[in-house]
Structure 1
Amino acid sequence: MITMLLGLGALGLSMSVLAKNYIYDGTKEELLRKAKKVNLAIQNDPMPSDQTTAMLAFLDQTFDTRIWVFDRHGRIISTSTQDEVFIGKSVARSIVEQVMQGKDVVQDLKFEGLSKPMLSVVVPWGQKNEVFGGIVLHAPVEGIDETVGNMREMIVWATLFGILLSTAMVSYLSWTISRPLKRIDEVALEIERGNYKQRVAVTTEDEIGDLARTINRMASTLEQVEVERVDFEQTRQDFLANVSHELRTPLTAMQGFLEALQDGLVTDETSRQKYYDVMYKETMHMSRLVNDLLELVRLEKQEVNLVKRPIDMNSFLNRLVFAFKEEAAKRNLDLRLEVVDPLPTIIADPYRVEQIFTNLIGNALKFTEQGHIKLAAREKADGIEVTVEDTGIGISQHDLDFIWERFFKVDRVRSRREAGTGLGLAIVKELVELHHGNIRVESKIGEGTRFVVWLPSEKKVG
């Protein structure tokens, strides 16, 4: 506002000064032209006569100016009015000298006896070869000053209008800027307090709108980070609780057996060997748990390097079934393989693919008491689909959403008996995704479970 006021004031002052100078200069030029016309009218009369005086009076009325005529010595010898008060008075010597040299005088003119401010010019009186004196034309400056005053008044009013207009504009702009900025400030304070659900309503497409959108994106990011942090903290706590639980059971058992052996409570060799066997199995269980944990962490961090090469899935699955045939027979289960030829060749890490299906078949054996386990394979969608199906106890619909989580066990009694770690399916899922495949599960309580693994073929990988 101050800048606007100073700018308008300076502009108004400059315009008024320039306008005044322009009007004064124009009036002087006009007076010079009129003075020269007066000279043309009387230049042949070296001594003013009644006819000359009448001519001056006529020109006074025509030009609306007062006219004086002075001789070579600067004495006023005739005027355009009947007032003779100036006749006989002298004009300044400096003016007379310039006029006698044939020059026009328009600057710094002062005449004694003039009661009102006048704008005056002086031109030589006579002809080029002979100058009789000078002709003075006076024009009142009241009209000029009034015109300049009107202009200044108009500039003042324009300035006041400009101030009012700029005040309204600045107030509106200030309101349109400060209001959303205040809202942004409020949202930022809420975000600082941890309330990441706050958002700024974006109503404009200018810089303020861009700032509001940036604040909203920041809040969304922080909200997501907070959710992930809470989830991570919960996962960490669950992880510690599960690890503690899984380690506590074998350690407690081993501690009890060792105390019995140390106190000499077990005397016969057969009992001691049974104790040693149990402690060995518990030790192996803890070793598998630690190894599975390390394996899962490496997979989640993508620190596992796959050594891929072509795999003939037909022979691979036959070897896998042969490896589990004996264990299935011990459990009175029928392990069968069904292959729809031809099967495509896949590019994968044989060790990791074997790990995937070893876990799935091992789970099927542990949770199936009677019936069969079927391993089926066929070509599907530029890849191979392998199904591991059993007739075991099945998984409830509620538990299906959690089977991929660490340490989740469907049947904890059966799991403790089979000494599982609860990490097998989590590892399987990570390995399948690492090979750019997918896995899904279908199950019904009391009817069995069906895992379906799809891995891309050599053509798809290429």
Structure 2
Amino acid sequence: MLGMSKSIYRRLLVSFLATVLVGLGITGIVLSFFTKEYIYNAKEEELLRMAKKVNTAIHNSNEVNKRLLDKLAMLDESFDTRIWLFDTKGKIVATSMKDEMFTGKSVAVSIADNVLKGKSAVTELQIEGLDDPMLSVSVPWGEGENVYGGIILHAPIEGIEKTFGQMRESILWATLFGVLLSTIMVSYLSWSISRPLRTIERTAAEIGRGNYAERVQVDTSDEISDLAQTINTMAQKLEKVEQERHHLEQVRNDFLANVSHELRTPLTAIQGFLEALQDGLVEEEEARQKYYAVMYTETMQVNRLVDDLMDLMKLENNEVNLVKFPVDVADVMNRVAFSFHQEAEEKGLHMGVEVEDELPRIYADKDRIAQILKNLVKNALKFTSAGEIRMRASLDGEYVQIQVIDTGMGIAADDLDRIWERFFKVDRGRSKNNKGTGLGLAIVKELVELHDGKCRVESSPGKGSTFTIWLPRIKPEN
């Protein structure tokens, strides 16, 4: 992550500095070029205007005398510029300065020719004895056909170049300031980007190590925040998947352990009885018949376990197709009660059915509803040794409520939430003689939910249990 941070910093710094340098460089060059052109042109135009005014003042004077020199000196002070006069041969004959060091010097032939032809000239003069170049303008001296020579007004280029130097220095300082500001901005920007990225990297590493409870804490509101939110969502889903995986693993282990336990008990009994019969240890026919009866009972227990497992697997895999028709709940309840009547009498229990008058029908699979009630009654019979078992049906809003009430041993509060789990058996130590697969209530729950219904259990130890299911009623036609 540190390397990436350095890379981000380096890229941002280079790009910012390049932008600043190129931008300021181009701006400086363009500004210098146009400014220089503007200053030069303005100075040239100013010098031309002043040169024409000088000519207007002296166009009637064709001889160099004290009066002309005084006039030139006065104009020099007024215009603050140097004035030279040259004759038709290009010789400087008068200057506005008191010293005459340039008198007698010659100007360029091309300038003299143009001026004598009545044209103005603008140039950088190089005069003997003058080290620095001068920006000069030349106009004819005289009027009309009477041209006595030329008038030169000039200003040192040094001042203009000094202005340009100051401008270039200002641009350089602006560039240095831009570089410094860019470095500060890049440092802050790099830190603001790399800090949340390092947080994301550490969190992602924790998630990669299997710590799915980790979350990215980012206090920004940009694309990095969106990335952090995406990682948090992914971590949440991974955490949920991991929890489901652990749960499924635990369910699988419990399933294998429970199936092994449920199969081992009857198979061990069958194996023991078969060995006794094979070894001839049971000689009496009556005893052998008892052994056969026990083996048959244990075989039926294994068969019921397999049937219940197949039913539960089909329900959980959505492989059970309901054949729904209008079902009379009272009829199903009476049939179920009749099928368990003899077993209830043998245990000294009263089996009762209570149905509310004009109870509406339900739209359901009749055989599956009967299976639900049989599982609930069978469960009640196993854990009820005295008292009664009642089935009761009544209307409850949009549902038909069916209850199976017993006066059995009851269920502890800690077990109520687990009563619908596969292979869960209440009070295993006290119910060893009660044969069962531990799948009946799990099948009940799946079948009820398949009918878009719901189920609940209420119980207290020693006071019996009440299993309640709600199944949607058939709505009356308007």
Please report the TM-score for the alignment, with normalisation by the length of structure 2: 0.88
1:94 corresponding residue in structure 2: 110
1:136 corresponding residue in structure 2: 152
Q: Distance in 1 between matches of 2:477 and 2:72?
A: 115
Q: Which amino acid aligns with 2:356?
A: V
Q: Which amino acid aligns with 1:194?
A: G
- Residue 71 (structure 1) shift: 3.2
The answer as to whether partners of 1:440 and 1:453 remain within 8 angstroms in 2 is yes
- Residue 4 (structure 1) shift: 4.7
Q: Distance in 1 between matches of 2:125 and 2:335?
A: 127
Q: Distance in 1 between matches of 2:63 and 2:440?
A: 136
1:3 corresponding residue in structure 2: 18
1:161 and 2:157 equivalent?
no
1:453 corresponding residue in structure 2: 469
Q: Distance in 2 between matches of 1:363 and 1:252?
A: 25
The answer as to whether partners of 2:123 and 2:135 remain within 8 angstroms in 1 is no
Q: Which amino acid aligns with 2:299?
A: T
1:344 and 2:363 equivalent?
no
SS of match in other structure, 1:139? strand
RMSD: 2.7
Q: Distance in 2 between matches of 1:454 and 1:129?
A: 127
Q: Which amino acid aligns with 2:18?
A: T
The answer as to whether partners of 1:64 and 1:139 remain within 8 angstroms in 2 is no
2:317 corresponding residue in structure 1: 301
- 2:39 is aligned, of 8, 19, 23, to 23
Alignment of 1:426-437 (within 5 A): 426-437=442-453
Cα deviations by residue, 1:108-163 (Å, 9 ceiling, x for unpaired) = 54333323332222233344666543322111233323332333333333333333
- Residue 263 (structure 1) shift: 3.1
Q: Which amino acid aligns with 1:138?
A: H
- Residue 220 (structure 1) shift: 2.4
- Residue 345 (structure 1) shift: 2.5
Judged with a 3 Å threshold, the aligned counterparts in structure 2 of structure 1 residues 101 and 284 are, in CA distance, closer, same or farther, namely: farther
SS of match in other structure, 2:132? coil
1:439 and 2:455 equivalent?
yes
Point out where structure 1 has 5 or more consecutive residues left out of the alignment. Answer: none
1:366 corresponding residue in structure 2: 382
The answer as to whether partners of 2:333 and 2:373 remain within 8 angstroms in 1 is no
Alignment of 1:261-280 (within 5 A): 261-280=277-296
The answer as to whether partners of 1:321 and 1:337 remain within 8 angstroms in 2 is yes
Judged with a 3 Å threshold, the aligned counterparts in structure 2 of structure 1 residues 448 and 57 are, in CA distance, closer, same or farther, namely: same
Point out where structure 2 has 5 or more consecutive residues left out of the alignment. Answer: 1-12
Cα deviations by residue, 1:389-431 (Å, 9 ceiling, x for unpaired) = 0111111112212211111111436655343110111111112
1:405 and 2:421 equivalent?
yes
1:171 corresponding residue in structure 2: 187
Q: Which amino acid aligns with 2:74?
A: F
Q: Which amino acid aligns with 2:236?
A: S
- Residue 190 (structure 1) shift: 1.6
Alignment of 1:104-115 (within 5 A): 104-107=120-123, 109-115=125-131
1:424 and 2:460 equivalent?
no
SS of match in other structure, 2:126? coil
Which is worse superposed, 424-433 or 88-97? Answer: 88-97
Which is worse superposed, 98-107 or 303-312? Answer: 98-107
Q: Distance in 2 between matches of 1:218 and 1:231?
A: 20
1:313 and 2:321 equivalent?
no
Q: Which amino acid aligns with 1:340?
A: E
Alignment of 1:22-421 (within 5 A): 22-107=38-123, 109-127=125-143, 131-412=147-428, 416-421=432-437
Which is worse superposed, 326-335 or 408-417? Answer: 408-417
Q: Which amino acid aligns with 2:300?
A: M
Judged with a 3 Å threshold, the aligned counterparts in structure 2 of structure 1 residues 304 and 23 are, in CA distance, closer, same or farther, namely: farther
- Residue 363 (structure 1) shift: 0.8
SS of match in other structure, 1:458? coil
The answer as to whether partners of 1:347 and 1:461 remain within 8 angstroms in 2 is no
2:9 corresponding residue in structure 1: none
Which is worse superposed, 393-402 or 44-53? Answer: 44-53
The answer as to whether partners of 1:387 and 1:451 remain within 8 angstroms in 2 is yes
SS of match in other structure, 1:106? strand
Judged with a 3 Å threshold, the aligned counterparts in structure 2 of structure 1 residues 353 and 108 are, in CA distance, closer, same or farther, namely: farther
Q: Distance in 2 between matches of 1:94 and 1:50?
A: 30
Judged with a 3 Å threshold, the aligned counterparts in structure 2 of structure 1 residues 97 and 424 are, in CA distance, closer, same or farther, namely: farther
Please report the TM-score for the alignment, with normalisation by the length of structure 1: 0.91
Q: Distance in 1 between matches of 2:477 and 2:283?
A: 63
Among all aligned residue pairs of Structure 1 and Structure 2, give the percentage whose two residues are the same amino acid.
58
Q: Which amino acid aligns with 2:328?
A: D
- Residue 186 (structure 1) shift: 1.6
